[in-house]
Amino acid sequence: MKTHAFSSLLVLLCLLFSGCGGNGIPRAAVQGTVTLDGKPIESGVIMFIPETVAPVALKITGGHYDSESDVNDRRGAVIGHCSVQIFANRPTGRSYTDVMTGEKMEETKQFVPAKYNERTELTAEVEAGRQTIDFHLES
């Protein structure tokens, strides 16, 4: 349940960060692949976090992300230096009952190492135009 709560908090933070404008901020289209130990991350979120404005969160599907999948419809990462965080959960095989709704929920657990999200070591230089930035992570 702890990891499900973390995932919910992450989504909430993405939505909160998204509330602050974005008009006039130079952005660039980004895309790429995300693998862990040579295997595509099938489903997750990649965040490009600039130094001065709100981050952009992109969906990872089938090991690929594209700014066309921007969850806040910003259509690109802010140009310049960005920290990068990658999150992905997988089912644990256990379930629990949500205390708020009474609904049976499937427990999930973050499987991407913390050095790529909460304690990220990843960075990217986002440049004008469309660019491909791949991330090949190792456990």
pLDDT digits (tens, 9 = 90+) for 55-72: 999 999 999 999 986 655
Domain CATH code at residue 109: 2.60.40
Between 107 and 20, whose confidence is greater? 107
Would you say residue 8 has pLDDT above 70? Answer: no
User: Do the domain assignments include residue 23?
Assistant: no
What is the span of the domain harbouring residue 59?
2-18+28-137
User: Do the domain assignments include residue 74?
Assistant: yes
Rounded to an integer, the average pLDDT of 9-13 is 47
Could you tell me which of 112, 105, 113 has the C-alpha nearest to residue 2? 105
Domains in the chain, number: 1
Rounded to an integer, the average pLDDT of 31-35 is 98
How much of the chain is helix, strand and coil, in % rounded to 5? 15, 50, 35
- Type of residue found at 13: L
Which pTM value belongs to this model? 0.78
Between 2 and 77, whose confidence is greater? 77
User: Do the domain assignments include residue 11?
Assistant: yes
Residues 67-93 pLDDT 10s? 986 655 667 999 999 999 999 999 999
Between 40 and 74, whose confidence is greater? 40
In order of 1, 49, 77, 79, 113, the CA distances from 124 in angstroms are 32, 9, 10, 10, 18
